[in-house]
Structure 1
Amino acid sequence: MENGEILVIDLFAGPGGLGEGISAAQTSDGKSPFQIGISVEKDFHAHKTLTTRAFFRSLKTKSQPLDNYYNYLHGKITRDKLFELHPDIATEANQETLNGAKELGKDNKLIHKRIKDLVKEHKGPKVLIGGPPCQAYSLAGRSRNAGNKSYVAEEDTRHFLYKEYLEVICLAKPDIFVMENVRGILTAKVNGQVMFPQILEDLRSPGSVTKHKKIPKYKIYSLVVDAENPEDPQYKDSADFLIRCEQYGIPQARHRVILLGVREDIKTTPETLKLCDHQVSVEQAISDLPNLRSGFSKQKDNAKDWETAVTKNAAKLKRILKKQFDQESANSLNLKPKIGLSRIETALSDKTPAMPESLKAWYIDPNLNVVLNHETRGHMVDDLLRYAYCAAYAQIESSSPKSRHFPKELAPAHANWDTGTHADRFRVQVANKYATTVTSHISKDGHYFVHYDPQQCRSLSVREAARLQTFPDNYIFEGTRTNQYVQVGNAVPPYLAQQIGKIIIQLIFP
């Protein structure tokens, strides 16, 4: 690693969204200064995805041919064969991800040694990225468990997760750190006390928590609100740290807290993220992907029976819509199933991507020539009609129906359906709006992530969810389909991370 490069230490990496985006950020003259030195992830499947991507990045960094990587994506060779064909690259990728899933708090000896070695051999700038799981922050302060005689900090692994993050800051003394978390961190209370101010204090002075000596202090900046005093950034409202992703080119209402820590000796003030001109809709993000049909989860699955079921549903749904809306609106919809669809499709469609050019360049790999992770799940027959209703309703109203909008004949047999508790039990992703937050719940049943096309009558595929999270199309997710959904739902949008990376570059190389 050259001294001019920026060493990246990625903790709680998941499938690599934050690292992918940061490492893709370039200088004004087209150079890519970020080099991920270590990615730590405890989940086996996410770790496998992370390692495959590290392999791909290493091939590109060393300007080696990508033919074998594409052969793997096309299913022509196995992943093991791919790694076997490039032993040096494979060794490097595995070393980056610690040769296996590892967990802070349990595998500290190995993780800390690797970080110390990287810091020792690298004389250039260093950046720490990642965010401890949200539960960790419920223990951010040291005083909150006072009075609880039964509490033993040594037995609470979440305590160690938080402390370990601060420990790595002290080990690496990074120029910059980026910490991401759920918006709930802003209002989380322990013993009636909001803990976010204490979290900020801990991050400003990590050495006072870990008891390490000669640890630099950090200034904590918002990425969306300018500080009144950049030399000593303080913010009137904790919500100033909240990033609304849909305002920055992400086709999804993902609201996350992201803190930018800048070492006290760095005098440059970070810029804030630039608002996008136009928000990106679901249809713009995924409409060029191949059409698919859903499957049956409780009966034998075949295309003919699916087409028959959806055709019957279409006639029934047309009658329902004519009662609920005016006849013209109902008649304008084509609810009949698209014929000849499969549940999995790897061939590119002939549709032209409708997204902005900047996103098109981000997503599309002209050498890929295959669609990855694009497969549907099975659904109950009764739910197919509800999915079609949601999609049709959204085409008329430009919003997803609540439980109160459903005709009684479509109401599921849930005791609390009419209570309002599950008003969003079925939620369609409206075509002309950005998506709701993609979460790991998408791995469960798909009810919150219904596709906007009633003729496909299904929930989103992993690839469609990945598009909404802004993963490039050549980013393959390893593991079972359920594993893949979980990985995508837990990730940081790489396209947002790339924008943060550009801000870091300007900080380090002003």
Structure 2
Amino acid sequence: MSTYTMGELFSGPGGIAWGAHEAAREVGVDLRHTWANDYDSSTCETYRANIPGATHQSVIHGDVRDLDVKSLQSIEGFAFGFPCNDYSLLGESKGLSGKFGPLYQRGVDVLDHHRPAWFVAENVTGLKSSNGGDDFKHILAELRKAGAGYTIVPHLYHFEQYGVPQRRHRIIIVGIAEGIPAQFKVPAPTHPKPDDWVSVSTALANIPTHLPNQERTRQSKTVIRRLEQIRPGQNAFNATLDDDLRLNVKGATLSQIYRRLHPGKPSYTITGSGGGGTHGYHWDEPRALTNRERARIQTFDDNFVFRGTKESVRKQIGMAVPPAGAKVIFRALFQTLTGTPYDWVPANLTPSGEPVKRRALAEKIIS
């Protein structure tokens, strides 16, 4: 049995780690948590409570900029979902010139010093267009030449095509150290067509009442009235509302604001943002989703317990990588490393960050 020790930066509550451990168990790989770091104390508590092997000492709470990566224990695998704030299409898109944009470099520092056999990095779709695509190309170049060099495979994953009941699109970069005779391939979608996608009503069915994190948000009478006039799939700007319920906000016509879920479709992207009207809203009841419902949409197991206040938990869930999505990618990575064949498709991004022409993606390839 192959054994890998794994470290993680920007770990969040453990979406990547949970998916990685589940994939390792299925493939027959011994994956061992070694260390993780996150800036939020409640998020660290959630990670410690759920990820196998995580302890108070191994999960380091603190600013990654103050972390001495050279003092960390040696690892054979590495994961990092570096901050997306400055690459998000909904933000100011400052890219590498922003406060958070340069933090990918801490991941490069780990690769340079510890030289793990493989890594998995995650970010939002806006990364590939930040500063005309130059930021993405720069980051990919840095990852390729880190350590002793890595062969990288960036790909824009549509997680609804992998059984996640949510239209969540993320760039995942998988790197394998040069010299290792293995070539990662993008795992083929398990739910490729819209008719195959898991609906939100299916995902939220039969939630046991005894589960934690089910506190409901107190909705004002105005919000309740507004939601009652918004049909499933509509938002506050395309619904027909009474005059006193309309939002008089110039330039803020985001489709997520007071948008109700459609029971027959996957959810729209669950986020950790805290603005009014962005918490995700039930299709039938005039209310925001509970954190357990958000966790179901993000594919966290019902036994996954979140620590912290209700608002903290909401942010943890929204900022996490869906464990089911992480599992698909790590399963393909471990199958690659163990020489186990699997169905795959061509990557839709080149190692230099350019999109691949559609013609090259037309044919599904079976290994």
Fold match (TM-score > 0.5): yes
Between the aligned partners of 2:318 and 2:130, the Cα distance in structure 1 is 22
Q: Give the direction of change, closer, same or farther, for the CA distance of 1:259–1:159 in structure 2 (3 Å limit).
A: closer
TM-score (norm 1): 0.60
2:2 and 2:30 in contact (8 A); partners too: yes
Q: Does residue 497 in structure 1 map to residue 329 in structure 2?
A: no
Deviation at 1:7, TM superposition (A): 0.8
Which residue identity does 1:129 align to in structure 2? A
Deviation at 1:499, TM superposition (A): 1.1
Tell me the SS of whatever aligns to 1:195: helix
Between the aligned partners of 1:279 and 1:451, the Cα distance in structure 2 is 19
Q: Does residue 221 in structure 1 map to residue 153 in structure 2?
A: yes
Which residue identity does 2:6 align to in structure 1? V
Q: Does residue 459 in structure 1 map to residue 288 in structure 2?
A: yes
Q: Give the direction of change, closer, same or farther, for the CA distance of 1:32–1:95 in structure 2 (3 Å limit).
A: farther
Matches within 5 A, 1:296-311: none
Structure-2 residue corresponding to 1:34: 31
Between the aligned partners of 1:93 and 1:139, the Cα distance in structure 2 is 34
Q: Does residue 435 in structure 1 map to residue 349 in structure 2?
A: no
Structure-2 residue corresponding to 1:406: 240
2:164 and 2:198 in contact (8 A); partners too: yes
Matches within 5 A, 1:302-321: none
2:110 aligns with one of 161, 165, 168: 168
Deviation at 1:420, TM superposition (A): 7.0
Structure-2 residue corresponding to 1:196: 136
Which residue identity does 1:186 align to in structure 2? K
1:103 aligns with one of 63, 72, 88: 63
2:145 aligns with one of 194, 205, 218: 205
1:105 and 1:157 in contact (8 A); partners too: no
Deviation at 1:158, TM superposition (A): 4.3
Q: Give the direction of change, closer, same or farther, for the CA distance of 1:136–1:114 in structure 2 (3 Å limit).
A: farther
Structure-2 residue corresponding to 1:250: 164
1:416 and 1:422 in contact (8 A); partners too: no
Q: Give the direction of change, closer, same or farther, for the CA distance of 1:401–1:47 in structure 2 (3 Å limit).
A: closer
The one-character-per-residue Cα deviations of 1:326-380 (angstroms, maximum 9, x if unpaired) are xxxxxxxxxxxxxxxxxxxxxx35xxxxxxxxxxxxxxxxxxxx31201111111
**Over the residues paired in the alignment, what is the CA RMSD in angstroms?**
2.4
Structure with the larger strand share: 2
Q: Does residue 415 in structure 1 map to residue 278 in structure 2?
A: no
Deviation at 1:273, TM superposition (A): 1.9
Deviation at 1:406, TM superposition (A): 1.5
Q: Does residue 51 in structure 1 map to residue 52 in structure 2?
A: no
1:127 aligns with one of 74, 77, 89: 77
Q: Give the direction of change, closer, same or farther, for the CA distance of 1:422–1:416 in structure 2 (3 Å limit).
A: farther
Structure 2, unmatched stretches of 5+, are 88-93, 340-367
Matches within 5 A, 1:264-303: 264-277=178-191, 278-289=196-207
Tell me the SS of whatever aligns to 2:203: helix
Between the aligned partners of 2:189 and 2:293, the Cα distance in structure 1 is 24
Structure-2 residue corresponding to 1:485: 314
Structure with the larger helix share: 1
Q: Give the direction of change, closer, same or farther, for the CA distance of 1:159–1:434 in structure 2 (3 Å limit).
A: closer
The one-character-per-residue Cα deviations of 1:90-127 (angstroms, maximum 9, x if unpaired) are xx6122213xx12222132xx43123xx34xxxxxx11
Q: Give the direction of change, closer, same or farther, for the CA distance of 1:157–1:187 in structure 2 (3 Å limit).
A: closer
How many residues align structurally? Answer: 329
Which residue identity does 2:201 align to in structure 1? E
2:124 and 2:169 in contact (8 A); partners too: yes
Between the aligned partners of 1:507 and 1:423, the Cα distance in structure 2 is 39
Structure-2 residue corresponding to 1:181: 123
Deviation at 1:159, TM superposition (A): 7.0
Between the aligned partners of 2:106 and 2:65, the Cα distance in structure 1 is 7
Q: Give the direction of change, closer, same or farther, for the CA distance of 1:423–1:471 in structure 2 (3 Å limit).
A: closer
Deviation at 1:444, TM superposition (A): 4.2
TM-score (norm 2): 0.82
User: Percent sequence identity over matched residues?
Assistant: 26
Structure-1 residue corresponding to 2:300: 471
Structure 1, unmatched stretches of 5+, are 59-91, 120-125, 146-155, 207-214, 223-240, 290-347, 350-369
Structure whose CA Rg is larger: 1
Tell me the SS of whatever aligns to 1:260: strand
Deviation at 1:178, TM superposition (A): 0.5
Between the aligned partners of 1:244 and 1:401, the Cα distance in structure 2 is 23
Deviation at 1:139, TM superposition (A): 6.3
Between the aligned partners of 1:461 and 1:446, the Cα distance in structure 2 is 14
Between the aligned partners of 1:479 and 1:11, the Cα distance in structure 2 is 20
